[in-house]
Amino acid sequence: MTETTPPNPRHRLSPLTCDAPGLRQSIRDALVRVVGKDPDLATPRDWLHAVSFAIRERIIERRVVTRRQFADEDVKRVYYLSMEYLIGRMLEANLRNMGILEVTQQALQDLGVDFREIARLEEDAALGNGGLGRLAACILESMATQGYPGYGYGIRYEYGMFQQHIEHFRQVEHPDNWLRFGNPWEFPRPEKTFPVRFYGYVVEHHQPDGETSCNWENGEEVLAMAYDYPTAGYERRNVNNLRLWAAKATRDFDLRYFNEGDYIRAVADKNESETISMVLYPNDATAIGKELRLKQEYFFVSASLQDIIDRHLQLEYPIDELADKAAIQLNDTHPAIAVAECMRLLLDEHRIPWDQAWTITRNLFSYTNHTLMPEALETWPVALMERVLPRHMGIIYRINHEFIEEVRHRFPGEHEFFRRLSIIDEDHGRRVRMAHLAVIGSHRVNGVAALHTSLLKQTLFADFNRVWPERFVNVTNGVTPRLWMIQANPGLTELIESRISSDWKFDLDRLKQFEPYASDDATREAFRAVKRRNKERLAALVHKRTGITIRSDVMYDVQIKRIHEYKRQLLKLLHVIELYQRIRDGEDVLPRVVLFAGKAAPGYQRAKDIIAVINEVADIVNHDPAMGDRLKCVFFPNYEVSSATIIIPAADLSEQISTAGFEASGTGNMKLALNGALTIGTLDGANIEIRDAVGTENIFIFGMTADEISAHRAQGIPPGAHLDSHPRLRSMVEALRDGFFSNGGRHLHAEIARYLLEEDPFFVLADYAAYSDACAQADRMYQDAEAWSEAALLNVARMSHFSIDRTVREYAQNIWNVVPEPVLPPCPEADTN
Ligand code: OAK
């Protein structure tokens, strides 16, 4: 797969050395010349910047070469459009993927600098909320690793995901000013700007040939300016590009300073136009519905499409071959306005006739759906869309008209069917359904796990599935083993490496070779030693962040994900209460640490209340001498990518306990199993495929299936009835209700108990008995260290299907129709020898 010599002299690198002396020199030079510091006075952050600048030179050079290779080889390009990229820290990931991590650590050590100490200072790039944003980051890394000509497009938010502090048990949001120290990984491209228009009106011109052309006039323009983030492939020379757009005021605003005389007002206007890229909306799986959000969506979509078309034309490809040379993936509906924008650019700017433009557009786009939750489905009021994007509204009407004509022809007389299919929802005050626009404007639509895709076809898109059954496909999510195994878990990586050859790092299928070692005593023992060290590392971090001391010789039971009712953190919390009561009753209970982590959307009161209740229960549990160190409950604050890399390798039990039918896929489930945690989970999302991969004896499945949930809902059983057959559950819920665990927030606890007893929309009480039994089963297995280690190792060895590389190959083959380019070895010295 790897070629040893570059085939083309244009694809050579200059001899920027990557040996320790050369790197040492570069780092020192960067410290003085770029950071501007005397090495005698440099702080750890100065060193972090110096090393990042030294590596930046090397990564961009590889980017230049990769770009040339793509340009010379007439490739089809993939464009990934996503409002979110949850990247995390870049230094270590870039170094590792470029194959120069160890030598850079050596160079720093020679300079008297501790790599770990400075790497910790880097802010996470948290330009995303959760699963969808992290998936986007994994996909980019995999495209680079496998040699796909992939480009990411998104927004350079000035403020990323908020920082979560816990104050008096409650979540408090602090702004994430991640750029305040500057960012060595970005390349501003002030020459790469595109105008993006809002508001205004459409003027129609009747052409002599009878056609009508449209001009979108007046309104306000902002400029989208590109910032590039090179993304290195693992142990490959390939470096792909993530291009993030920032809003800048146009020169119009500058002129107004002089013309209007109202300088202060003009500067305020200028600032306002730049707010478009100011902040990431911190909402996970809920539609936002604010005008600014619509503007963000259109802003980055328009700039990206203008850029994509520009590149296509610069490469001297004819415009009508756009879909042969490019594939665009819409990451959920957030960029779905791209369908209308692409039509606008082809019709109004490139004067392509409607039918041809529509064929190109449809062949170009495909759309990934990431949730079935009705509250996440984006719809925009027609009136808002007409005001902000008048030309697009006209285009959407015509797309809709032609689509409805087509189905009218195929399904005559089915008026109700047409009404349901329409892009315009007439029942809720006329709204544009973005998912419908995305489905109609794409040649493929995919769900992210087998169950999710099948539910999509049966429910949300059942009508469309009747019209175009071939359009709907499944691509089960995956995770990058580079970050989630090699970087996060060096101990386990080393153990695997000592047993099998290292090609599993590129091809996770080879991890299967590790399977026989699950029954090897020495490997199991070594695995337990690795887990233990990972727990010690996590325990130190927990202590630093929360002041709570946890043992490292007990089961670590973790639920780490956004806080949401459907993810059922309350189910786990009830189990904590059960264990607490049992210990107080003098029962012998398996010692464990229960760790929760995750952010709640700032406007999602119930989720914030859940955090407060977890913290208050934890406080009672952790301070009760009767617990005797057998139970600790931790809420780990400010969960982000960098803390996930510490928590995941330490986990024994992975909580994937969403109400069946609600979690589209989950990817934390994959990361945890890959790191040798056993899953306790419902038959939801990718848990089903994980069970199929690891075997039913190596996973704890419980609870109602998606079908059973629907049937149960139809029965309308009052949630409180589940207490009748479960006296323990009754005493737990009553303890909560009566404020046993409350610390001033008595009302809150009573309200949560009431919510469970009277509403319980996600069937926590209905599933509790089954959950508690599954936990007991896990506890029994954990007591047999050999059996547990064997099951954990089998989980590791059987995770190959959940590599993001497999996911990306499926997109490439079944959706994008692209092939990877040959990949070169990473080391530049290879070119000069
Ligand atoms: C976020 C905003 C709107 C719609 C969906 C999301 C989202 O993050 N969905 C999550 O996507 C992940 C990646 O596909 C899945 O693993 C999660 O199950 C899903 O909730």
Chain Cα centroid distance, residue 732:
35
Residue nearest to atom 12 of ligand 1 (CA): 131
Residues 748, 742: contact at Cβ < 8 Å? yes
Same topology between domain 9-352+814-832 and domain 554-783 = yes
Give the DSSP letter of residue 759. I
The answer, yes or no, to whether residue 258 has pLDDT greater than 90, is: no
State pLDDT tens for residues 517-560: 999 999 999 999 999 999 999 999 999 999 999 999 999 999 99
- Rounded Cα–Cα distance for residues 132 and 137 (Å): 9
Residue 132 CA, ligand 1 centroid: distance in Å: 5
Taken as a whole, the chain contains a residue count of: 833
Of the candidates 96, 270, 370, 749, the residue annotated as catalytic is: 370
Query: Cα(48)–Cα(111) distance, rounded to whole angstroms?
Result: 13
Assign residue 263 a region: left if phi > 0, alpha if psi is -120 to 50, beta otherwise? alpha
- DSSP label at residue 486: I
pLDDT of res. 15: 64
Give me the pLDDT at residue 428, please.
85
- 570 SS3 class: helix
Task: Select the CATH number that applies to the domain covering 554-783 from these four: 3.40.50.720, 3.90.1410.10, 3.40.920.10, 3.40.50.2000.
Answer: 3.40.50.2000
Query: Would you kindly state where each structural domain of the chain is located, as residue ranges?
Result: 9-352+814-832, 554-783
ipTM value greater than 0.95: yes
Question: Is 561 in the active site?
Answer: yes
Task: Name 117's bridge partners.
Answer: none
| pLDDT for residue 254 | 63
* Close Cβ partners of 743 (under 8 Å, ≥ 6 residues apart): 169, 616, 619, 620
The one catalytic residue in 344, 444, 457, 562 is 562
Mean pLDDT (the chain, rounded): 95
The one catalytic residue among 156, 443, 482, 561: 561
List beta partners, residue 594: 557, 633
Please check whether residue 749 is in contact with residue 655, taking contact to mean a CB–CB distance below 8 angstroms: no
Q: Where are the alpha helices (DSSP H) in 449-563?
A: 450-458, 462-467, 481, 490-499, 521-546
Q: What is the pLDDT of residue 580?
A: 98
Tell me the pTM.
0.97
Q: Where are the alpha helices (DSSP H) in 675-745?
A: 687-694, 706-715, 727-737
Q: What is the DSSP letter of 290?
A: -
List, for residues 61-102, the tens digit of each pLDDT value. Answer: 999 999 999 999 999 999 999 999 999 999 999 999 999 999
Atom of ligand 1 nearest to the CA of 452: 18
Distance between CA atoms of residues 662 and 664, nearest Å:
6
- Average the pLDDT over 691-698 and give the result: 98
Q: So what's the pLDDT on residue 287?
A: 85
b or e along 776-798 (b: 16 or more beta carbons within 10 Å of the residue's beta carbon)?
A: eebbebbeeeeebbbbbbbbbbb
d(CA 542, CA 554): 15
Pocket test for ligand 1, best of 135, 370, 802 (most atoms within 8 A of CB): 370
Taking only the tens place, the pLDDT of each residue in 109-145 is 999 999 999 999 999 999 999 999 999 999 999 999 9
* Tens-digit pLDDT profile for residues 584-616: 999 999 999 999 999 999 999 999 999 999 999
Angstrom CA distances, 247 to 20, 72, 759, 792, stand at: 40, 32, 44, 48
Q: Which residue has the tokens 């809002």?
A: 198
Asked if residue 379 lies in contact with residue 323, where contact means CB atoms within 8 angstroms, the answer is no
Phi, psi for 112 (deg, rounded to 5): 80, 25
Residue range 9-352+814-832, CATH number:
3.40.50.2000
- How far apart are the C-alpha atoms of 663 and 442, rounded to whole Å? 24
Whole-angstrom Cα distance, residue 736 to residue 751? 9
For residue 134, give the ligand 1 atom closest to its CA. Answer: 13
- Cα(470) to ligand 1 centroid in Å equals 23
Closest ligand 1 atom, CA of 448?
14
Q: Which residues of 213-246 are buried (b: 16+ CB within 10 A; e: fewer)?
A: ebebeeebbbbbbbbbbbbbbbbbbbbbbbbbbb
| Tokens 């210990």, residue located | 583
Instruction: At 205, give phi and psi (nearest 5°).
Output: -120, 130
Q: What share of the chain is helix, strand, coil (3-state, %, to 5)?
A: 55, 15, 30
